[in-house]
Structure 1
Amino acid sequence: MSADADARPDAVQQEPSPWVARFAPMVPEGGTVLDVACGSGRHARMFRDRGHPVVVLDRDVVQVSDMAVDPDVEIVARDLESGRPWPLEGRTFAGVVVVNYLHRPLFPALVRSVAPGGVLIYETFAVGNERFGKPSNPDFLLHRKELLIAVRPELQVMAFEDLEEQVPRPAVRQRVVAVRAG
């Protein structure tokens, strides 16, 4: 969380995902990070604190509007499920981060967005989570090994988890960290 977090009383203050924080050092130093479906920007804020320029992408960017004053932050407002083309086509990033978001048609664009030497850090809910509450709609739950299939063969998988966890709340999640050869 940035040092001025307390100065933003309207901001949702959340800690970064432990998965993202664990693998953040794999993002090449000083490289631009794309935070997809960024929400409150908790991951973008963490990467800014680490010295990375960031691009935040979400349909509603109100929660990250305070970041607009930073010249190393680009805010892109786009409904990714509208059927419109990927708004960042042709651009690549040292890091691409996606947490708690699933729209399967975006998988190819997300993989293409990883620059040579860059890393994709992805984490969201999987089948079985419906036992614990939301999300419970199968459209928003990954199938077994779905993230592995989505990133291969273009990216090399460095870490993968498909598990049921109890902390911070019961959930079934899938996570992947994958790199593009430099």
Structure 2
Amino acid sequence: MELIITYSSLLELHLVQLKKAAESGKILDLACGTGRNGLYLINNNIPVLFSDVKKDSLAVIKETLNSNTAELAHFWHVDFEQKDNQLKNRTFSGIMVFRYLHRPLFESIKNAILPGGIIIYETFTVENRQFGRPHNAHYLLNKGELVAQFKDWNIIHQFEGIIDNQGSPQAIAQIIALKPFTE
């Protein structure tokens, strides 16, 4: 049986911008989980730094790589919810975050992206409570919160609403934005 890995359609729709950003360095897949989105980039010859708190998740991603793509993948076992700023003194051509929210990271994420770099962020909103987990307000965006975080950036895509995720409705917010060269 072949393993089919699904990735966010945002990546395919904005692959040109991702490739352009990657000319300046790696894309950070922050809290990557199973790595489905980073693996899509790797398969499109874009270097990715997979980061997660779970060593097992990173190990599974390593096993998924083949010899042709392994050199594009890098790994970082890290807990972004520690008091220390794990992103301090690090820069990336882009950062992507899917289905993860830790509000204290917003400023660190913005600072870690190089000018001209890209942010791709998608996670649940408070409206998702009606459909299931997560329920905790700490893990749910408020209306307009994601766009407000990146209001000074060049927003090339934004969405807030309900999607059908393989037959299950989910309330999410998405943003894709480019960091200005001067802030």
State the TM bucket, normalised to the shorter chain.
Answer: 0.7 to 0.9
CA–CA separation in structure 2 for the residues paired with 1:61 and 1:43: 18
1:19 partner SS: helix
1:45 to 39, 48, 60: 39
CA–CA separation in structure 2 for the residues paired with 1:85 and 1:142: 21
Aligned residues: 171
1:120 partner SS: strand
Per-residue deviation, 1:148: 1.0
* 1:23/1:121 contact within 8 Å kept: no
Q: How does 1:69-148 map to 2 (within 5 A)?
A: 70-86=70-86, 88-148=87-147
Letter paired with 2:72: D
* 2:51/2:58 contact within 8 Å kept: no
Per-residue deviation, 1:130: 0.3
**1:166–1:48 distance in 2 versus 1, CA, 3 Å:** closer
2:161 aligns to what? 163
Confirm whether residue 19 of structure 1 aligns to residue 10 of structure 2: yes
* 2:58/2:77 contact within 8 Å kept: no
1:165 partner SS: strand
Letter paired with 2:118: V
1:142 partner SS: coil
Letter paired with 2:139: F
Letter paired with 1:51: N
Q: Deviations over 1:15-54 (max 9, x none)?
A: 1111233223211154411000000111111111111111
Q: Deviations over 1:112-152 (max 9, x none)?
A: 12212211000000011000000111111100111111123
Q: Deviations over 1:39-90 (max 9, x none)?
A: 011111111111111111110032232528833322111111122222x322
* Percent identity for Structure 1 against Structure 2: 28
CA–CA separation in structure 2 for the residues paired with 1:14 and 1:124: 19
* 1:118/1:179 contact within 8 Å kept: yes
1:80 partner SS: coil
CA–CA separation in structure 1 for the residues paired with 2:106 and 2:94: 15
TM-score calculated relative to the size of structure 1: 0.85
Which structure 1 residue ranges, 5 or more long, are not aligned?
A: 1-5
Which structure 2 residue ranges, 5 or more long, are not aligned?
A: none
